[in-house]
Structure 1
Amino acid sequence: MRAAVLAEYGEPLEIRDVDRPTADADGVVVETEACGVCRSDWHGWQGDWDWIGSQPPKGQILGHEPAGTVVEVGDDVETLQEGDRIAVPFTLGDGVCPECRSGHGNLCENVRALGFTPTAQGAFAEEFPVPVADHNAVKLPDGVDAVDMAGLGCRFTTAYHGLAHRADITPGDWVAVHGCGGVGLSAVHIADALGGRVVAVDLDDDKLSDATRLGAEATVNAGDVDNVPREIMGITDGGADVAVDALGVAATCRNALGCLRRHGQHVQIGLTTSDEGGDIPLPTDMMVMKEIDVAGSFGMQPTRYDEIFSMVAADKLDPGAVVSGTIGLEDVSDTLQAMTTYDTDGIPVVDSF
């Protein structure tokens, strides 16, 4: 089968003919219908995250936002059969550790990151394996489009988990989203659906236009103002109730914290690049004096995907609205290269393998 393989960090992925995966006794093999190209793929392609032990090795098949059809089922799998259409979280849990058993499978003590570890080869391929499928595979509702569902593996669900579970948004709260890439635009759309009044921040007017389309009430081009937090405080009459750093660079993180009102909540979704190496200096005294709460969001528990599906059925959420277009497997490298200069919009999705 064809797959896009990481040969050298920062160099074009190699399209190779590789062996088809086989299902473990507790796993399934999935024919890939669609897979988002995520900024986390860019991080892996760059060779980032060695500082947290998550650097993908050379030879890895990337891709961690898939939707597809089950084509092989292991003997011990009980809840799936061939022909089922599924989405898969990138945080593959073992289903038995204390975190998984308590409903926090995204924080599994033995997590395998889809597309980043050799035991979890990714979905930039015609087929990919899913271990512990009864725990990790999420059946898609009838009739949904695979391209629309591709972002559920990472960006859309991470944003949803951060805003619906880790933050405490009530209708009318101001939510400032810093960075309007795929996860940031997902956060804009989700915050609006939860009743928030959204301020979107970016350096690109086209991305800010997308944010307006997805529900932002106000936008700030960070390149056009002297002080982003002060601008947001003016728009919100005192500061945002919730702020999201959807990029993971020092400027967006500090701006997100700085724009909060007293008792505000900061949600960190973006992971850092090699420039920060995992550490960003924060305005600690301000955080203390305003009693700011800080929360991280890492994927989402597969047991809670039904919350999103229910909101989709009620026409409150539309993951497909964040999808910017479709590409072929051979176009992934160019898309990753474009991410280096933030020259992509929304969620690009591979649908031709």
Structure 2
Amino acid sequence: MRAAVLREYGEPLAIEDVDRPEPDPHGVVVETEACGICRSDWHAWQGHGEWADDRVPRGQILGHEPAGTVVAVGEDVSRFREGDRVAVPFNLGRGTCEQCRNGRGNVCEDGLALGFEADAPGAFAEAVHVPYADYNAVELPAGVSPVEMAGLGCRFATAYHGLAHRADLTSGDWVAVHGCGGVGLSAVHVADALGANVVAVDLADEKLAKAAGLGADETVNAGEAADVPGRIREIAGNGAHVSVDALGVAETCRNSVACLGKRGQHLQLGLTTDEERGEVSLPTDAMAMNEITFLGSRGMPPTRYGELLRMMDRGTVSPAALVTKEVGLADVPDRLAAMSDYGTVGIEVVTEF
């Protein structure tokens, strides 16, 4: 089968023929019908993560936001049959550790990251293997397209989990979102759906316009504002209640913390580059005196996807609204390269394999 393989960091992914996966006893094989192209794929392609023992190995098939149809089922799988339509969270749990048993499978003690580890080849391929499928795979409701579920992917799910489960967000609160890439736009849309007032921040007017269309009440062009945190505090009164760093660079992280009011909550969604190498200096004394909370969010527990699916069914959220382009597998190398200069808007999805 055809797949996009990481051969050298920073060099175009190789589109080549690889062996088709076979299901483990606890797994299923899914024919990939759609897979989002995420900035986390860009980080992997660049070779980032060494500082956190999280560097993706050469030879890895990337891609971690798939949806498709089950075409082969392991003998120990009970929930799925051939022909079932499923989505696959990138944070794969085994379903047996203390974290999984308590509904936190996204941080499974023995989990795998789809598309980022040799034991979990990714979904920039005609087919992808899903281990521990009874726990990990998410059945698609009738009427939900693979493209929409790929748009939900890791970015939308991570934003939802962060705002709905990690942060203490109340309807009417002010939420600032720094960076309007895929995860930032997802955070804007989710925060609006949860009843918050949203300030979106970015350097590109096109992305700010997209954020406004997805529910941002106010926008701030960071290239034009002399004091981004000050402008947000002016908009929100006494500062934002929740602020999201959706990019992961030092400036957006510090701006996010600085724009908060007393007892505000900073939510870290973006991963750092090789400039920060996983560490950003913060005003810890001020954070202590103002009781600022620093939160992280990674994916979403597979057991909680039903919440999002019900919101999609009611029309409260629409991941498909973030999808701006459908491309082929052969286009993936160029689309990843476009992310180096922030040259993409919204979520792009591979639909031709």
- What TM-score do you get using the length of structure 1 for normalisation? 0.99
> Aligned equivalents of 2:329 and 2:37: distance in 1?
10
1:253-292 mapped onto 2 (5 Å cutoff): 253-292=253-292
- The answer for the alignment partner of 1:133 in structure 2 is 133
Q: CA deviation at 1:150?
A: 0.2
Q: Give the fraction of aligned pairs with identical amino acids, expressed as a percent.
A: 64
- Could you tell me which amino acid in structure 1 is paired with residue 89 of structure 2? P
Q: CA deviation at 1:158?
A: 0.1
- Could you tell me which amino acid in structure 2 is paired with residue 123 of structure 1? A
Deviates more, 1:150-159 or 1:190-199: 150-159
- The answer for the alignment partner of 1:186 in structure 2 is 186
> Aligned equivalents of 1:152 and 1:320: distance in 2?
8
- Could you tell me which amino acid in structure 1 is paired with residue 330 of structure 2? E
> Aligned equivalents of 1:200 and 1:184: distance in 2?
8
What is the aligned residue count? 353
- Deviations 1:47-96 (Å, cap 9, x if unpaired)? 00011122111110000000110000000000000011111111111111
- The answer for the alignment partner of 1:110 in structure 2 is 110
- The answer for the alignment partner of 1:293 in structure 2 is 293
> Aligned equivalents of 2:238 and 2:102: distance in 1?
38
- The answer for the alignment partner of 1:340 in structure 2 is 340
Q: Which runs of 5+ in 1 are unaligned?
A: none
- The answer for the alignment partner of 1:213 in structure 2 is 213
Q: CA deviation at 1:190?
A: 0.2
**3-state SS of 1:154 partner:** helix
Q: CA deviation at 1:111?
A: 1.3
Q: Following TM superposition, where does structure 1 have runs of at least 4 consecutive aligned residues deviating by more than 2 angstroms?
A: none
> Aligned equivalents of 2:47 and 2:349: distance in 1?
22
> Aligned equivalents of 1:80 and 1:297: distance in 2?
29
1:173-252 mapped onto 2 (5 Å cutoff): 173-252=173-252
**3-state SS of 1:59 partner:** coil
Q: CA deviation at 1:315?
A: 1.0
- What TM-score do you get using the length of structure 2 for normalisation? 0.99
Q: CA deviation at 1:153?
A: 3.0
Q: CA deviation at 1:151?
A: 3.0
8 Å contact kept, 1:200–1:218 = yes
> Aligned equivalents of 1:152 and 1:91: distance in 2?
14
- The answer for the alignment partner of 1:2 in structure 2 is 2
Question: RMSD of the TM alignment (CA)?
Answer: 0.7
> Aligned equivalents of 1:4 and 1:98: distance in 2?
35
- Could you tell me which amino acid in structure 2 is paired with residue 335 of structure 1? R
> Aligned equivalents of 2:283 and 2:208: distance in 1?
27
- The answer for the alignment partner of 1:86 in structure 2 is 86
Q: Which runs of 5+ in 2 are unaligned?
A: none
> Aligned equivalents of 1:137 and 1:213: distance in 2?
31
Deviates more, 1:125-134 or 1:94-103: 94-103
- Deviations 1:10-46 (Å, cap 9, x if unpaired)? 0111110111000000000000000000000000000
> Aligned equivalents of 2:340 and 2:176: distance in 1?
24
- The answer for the alignment partner of 1:75 in structure 2 is 75
Q: CA deviation at 1:232?
A: 0.4
> Aligned equivalents of 2:97 and 2:228: distance in 1?
43
**3-state SS of 1:343 partner:** coil
- Could you tell me which amino acid in structure 2 is paired with residue 351 of structure 1? T
Q: CA deviation at 1:209?
A: 0.1
> Aligned equivalents of 2:271 and 2:204: distance in 1?
20
- The answer for the alignment partner of 2:59 in structure 1 is 59
- Could you tell me which amino acid in structure 2 is paired with residue 167 of structure 1? A
- Could you tell me which amino acid in structure 1 is paired with residue 86 of structure 2? I
8 Å contact kept, 1:105–1:301 = yes
> Aligned equivalents of 1:60 and 1:9: distance in 2?
11
1:142-157 mapped onto 2 (5 Å cutoff): 142-157=142-157
